[in-house]
Chain A
């Protein structure tokens, strides 16, 4: 008999709503990672167009000068900044730095690893990414 494993799958993994800001940060980290991968592939495709001559390269550059191109570049700035800043928090956390010290837990149990420093770092990552996007928008759409 085939067993029903009852795994949540991608839907469960991608649902950021049930477990607070840490799960939102996990979800954003994944999404921005995928977004940056897509950008990298697109960027390689874009720059490799130079092999087909100057006119092809120029027409490719024209694409980035459109409104849609600017919006995509702004999103890339936001993804890049969030992924970098939150990535530093995660790299330190993965080494056991900033996750608190083991103690005897007291009810109501508030996990030390979800401490205020970690939460502030997540909010700061989102804030810095938003600021970078605003700066990007002002540069790209300014003049």
Chain B
């Protein structure tokens, strides 16, 4: 009896689902001259994410929509896209919270488009690698008899910045990235800070040298948009300013 009630409630909630128009940007650089928006009517519930809606379209209405995703829980950073004009993770954005009858999904800006909603993140990974994203220390935890001990305060200095999932939303929101193709970008600069602030690391001078160039840290003007779009609370704007503090002599 109880099961029947639950089933009835579920079916009634299915009936009460609302409809939204999903405008998906379609563009194939191999044969299209420009982006075209295609509208799809999609039903959604309170908990439906934008990624769920796109996958619904892909399954039932247009198989050709190109979208990249993996974990569906804001851990892998694959499904970054521009949703209603702002870079967000599609799996972490519920349609109900957008408070709009039309949801426009486009590929993230400042990255080359592979197809439709998929962008090429290779440039971001290149700048990320440039920052030497690993602990530089000749002493090794493995060969040493002692592990590198850290106090909770020492961990707090960098742990926030270690949450980066390399989704690239920060680079997409950055106003400098919008015009400067050589800028290192908030993602890479924040990762430089993450390792510089780690007391186990001895590569501070090496990294500061890499970022202290004309398209490096000095191009950040502290607009803060990177921090506003970060889905993991990394706060790149803070990391970059603290990093600049080392170069300006405010931090040791």
Chain A residue at smallest Cβ distance from B238: A113
Contacts of B111 in A (CB 8 A): 5-6
Q: Which single member of B161, B175, B181, B244 contacts A26 (CB below 8 Å)?
A: B175
Tell me the residues in window 57-116 of chain A with beta carbons closer than 8 Å to chain B beta carbons: 90, 93-97, 99-107, 109, 111-114
Instruction: Tell me if B175 and A94 are in contact (CB < 8 A).
Output: no
Contacts of A18 in B (CB 8 A): 85-86, 225
Instruction: Tell me if B107 and A6 are in contact (CB < 8 A).
Output: yes
Contacts of A93 in B (CB 8 A): 222, 241
Complex formed: what's the CA distance from A10 to B109 in Å?
13
Q: Which single member of B157, B225, B238, B248 contacts A22 (CB below 8 Å)?
A: B225
Instruction: Tell me if A6 and B237 are in contact (CB < 8 A).
Output: no
List 20 A-B pairs, Cβ < 8 Å. Answer: A3-B120, A5-B111, A6-B111, A8-B109, A8-B178, A12-B109, A13-B176, A19-B223, A22-B224, A22-B228, A26-B224, A94-B248, A97-B250, A99-B238, A102-B156, A104-B156, A105-B234, A109-B232, A111-B230, A113-B224
Contacts of B85 in A (CB 8 A): 18
Listed from nearest, the 7 A-B pairs whose CB atoms lie closest are A105-B233, A96-B245, A109-B233, A111-B227, A26-B223, A113-B238, A22-B224
A-B CB contacts (within 8 Å), total count: 151
Complex formed: what's the CA distance from A103 to B177 in Å?
27
Interface 1/0 per residue, B129-165 and A, CB below 8 Å:
0000000000000000000000000001111110100
Q: Which single member of A3, A19, A26, A30 contacts B222 (CB below 8 Å)?
A: A26
Tell me the residues in window 102-134 of chain A with beta carbons closer than 8 Å to chain B beta carbons: 102-107, 109, 111-114
Complex formed: what's the CA distance from A22 to B241 in Å?
15
Instruction: Spell out B's residues near A (CB within 8 Å).
Output: 27, 29-30, 85-86, 107-113, 119-120, 156-161, 163, 173, 175-179, 181, 197, 221-225, 227-235, 237-239, 241-245, 248, 250-251
Instruction: Give the size range of A's interface with the partner.
Output: 35 or more
Complex formed: what's the CA distance from A109 to B169 in Å?
15
Given A3-B112, A6-B110, output 9 extra A-B contacts at Cβ < 8 Å: A8-B179, A12-B175, A94-B241, A95-B241, A102-B242, A105-B235, A109-B230, A112-B238, A113-B237
Contacts of B243 in A (CB 8 A): 96
Chain A residue at smallest Cβ distance from B227: A111
Tell me the residues in window 2-44 of chain A with beta carbons closer than 8 Å to chain B beta carbons: 3-10, 12-13, 18-20, 22-23, 25-26, 29-30
Instruction: Tell me if B179 and A13 are in contact (CB < 8 A).
Output: yes
Instruction: Tell me if A94 and B244 are in contact (CB < 8 A).
Output: yes
Complex formed: what's the CA distance from A113 to B238 in Å?
5
